[in-house]
Structure 1
Amino acid sequence: MKPIPTAETSDVGDPAGPRPARGERRAARTRAAILDAAERAFRADGYRGTRMEDLAEAADVAVGSIYGHFGSKDGLYHALAERSVELFGAYMDRAYAAGATPLERVMAAGDAYLRFHLEHPGAFRFLAMGEGDAGPVLDAELRERTGARTEALIERFREEIQSAIDAGEARPLDAHDLSRFLWGAWNGVIGLTLRGDRMALSDEAVAACIQTGRRLVLEGLVAPSARDAAGDALARLVSTEDVAPG
């Protein structure tokens, strides 16, 4: 797998803009390292069980550096929540670059959702559970930003479904309803990894479930005119794994 780098880890930045100064790049890498460490720690130990000293050691920075970048433990948590939504957007962008046809792009979104969980399980909690595991309440402004961004991602997915319908690849279903159903289904299946009982699924089991679901959705969604002589879908179940990060 080729995990998508965060904006903070990119040395290049916006190719159309000026290259950041060395100090800015170093600060961005430090910030990203702290967020990566926090993502792992909050998942393993929970927000309240995570010590700033342990975070600093995991990120190989001084404790003061964490406070310098984020102000407080709550500030770090809030920054991680915002980054999680933006990172998921990058995974969905990769999905839309993977498919050659509108329907293939729709189906690639399920693969992108799975890879986001596998590569950033701590970040997935924010998407599935809203505010992660017993962390601080997100302030109204941040809640509005992350909520609006998530809604925009779902709307983009609806548009991709509608494009597949308009192209004659998909049956004329309600794109709004289908986008919400699939979004909820992915959340539900992947969310089983967070359970602490016998209903919990391993990453391998979740991957198998998502793949089975993708095949079922493709067979049910593809229009009769978009099938071959044997009745099979012309669209492929493409993977986002080999798409270069954008």
Structure 2
Amino acid sequence: MTLEPPDDRRKRRTHTAVLDAAQVLFLREGYRGTTIDMLAGAADIAVSSIYANFREGKADVYAALAWRTATRHAAAMSAPIGAESSPRHEVAATFDRYVAFHRENPLALRILALTDVDVGESELATKAKAQIDGLLGGLIESFATAVERVGCDVDPRALVLVSWAAVNGAYSLFQRRMVDEEGLDAMLGIARADLLAHVGGDRAA
């Protein structure tokens, strides 16, 4: 079993249908509240088809969904910003993309950390954790390099980690309904301003 979609077209359609169903159900019902029967029903496939594609069942589905989420996150963060953009705007745009990804993917914080799965439940989950950690680490280093290129009055990597943690914390509070959307936007605005206060270049970014 691999984290990537199968090469076979029919199996790939099943793989995608199961992950699409899982993304909706895990968000709505939670991982523990979602059953294999629910996944099969939402994906419009037989339960046996899930096990044919995900040997350990729900835990493997979770791992594969986590990896798909991570690769989409990397693609969103790594897309070209534009030749006309200044280095400072690149930093601001990278922060904004991080915020936008989590706004559009409310399950991402939990699933990227494999919060709901014990890696002992699934070899695929163990593999997913290692690959996700490597991918997210690469995003951090890339963001830190962009910050360093602009010029920074603190350690670039530490600054990126602090801003990343601020966004994660704001979304976590929002998802727990401890702040409303207005409060979330205010917190994200402060985190953005704090990041840009430490980098050089055009102050209008």
Give the structure-2-normalised TM-score. Answer: 0.80
Matched, 1:87 2:72: yes
Shift of 1:141: 3.5
* In 2: Cα distance, 1:28 partner to 1:81 partner: 17
Shift of 1:35: 0.9
Counterpart code for 1:174: D
- Which residue of the other structure, out of 30, 48, 73, is the alignment partner of 1:46? 30
Shift of 1:178: 0.8
Matched, 1:180 2:166: no
5 Å-filtered alignment, 1:151-162, equals 151-162=137-148
CA contact 1:186–1:210 (8 Å) conserved in 2: yes
Counterpart code for 1:148: G
Pair 105,148 (structure 1): closer, same or farther in 2 beyond 3 Å: same
Give the length in aligned residue pairs. 195
* In 2: Cα distance, 1:70 partner to 1:54 partner: 15
* In 2: Cα distance, 1:150 partner to 1:78 partner: 15
CA contact 2:140–2:161 (8 Å) conserved in 1: yes
Shift of 1:79: 1.0
Matched, 1:137 2:122: no
* In 2: Cα distance, 1:151 partner to 1:42 partner: 25
Shift of 1:204: 5.3
* In 1: Cα distance, 2:65 partner to 2:24 partner: 11
Corresponding residue number in structure 1 for 2:198: 221
* In 2: Cα distance, 1:154 partner to 1:189 partner: 19
- Aligned CA-pair RMSD: 2.6
CA contact 2:27–2:107 (8 Å) conserved in 1: yes
Deviation per CA, 1:129-163: give whole Å up to 9, x if none.
Answer: x222x333264433222211221111111111112
CA contact 1:189–1:210 (8 Å) conserved in 2: yes
Extract unaligned runs of 5+ from structure 2: none
Query: Which runs of 4 or more aligned residues in structure 1 lie more than 3 Å from their structure 2 counterparts after TM superposition?
Result: 138-142, 202-205
Counterpart code for 1:200: M
Pair 204,91 (structure 1): closer, same or farther in 2 beyond 3 Å: farther
Corresponding residue number in structure 2 for 1:147: 133
**Percent identity between the two aligned chains:** 32
CA contact 2:166–2:191 (8 Å) conserved in 1: no
SS at match of 2:31: helix
Pair 222,78 (structure 1): closer, same or farther in 2 beyond 3 Å: closer
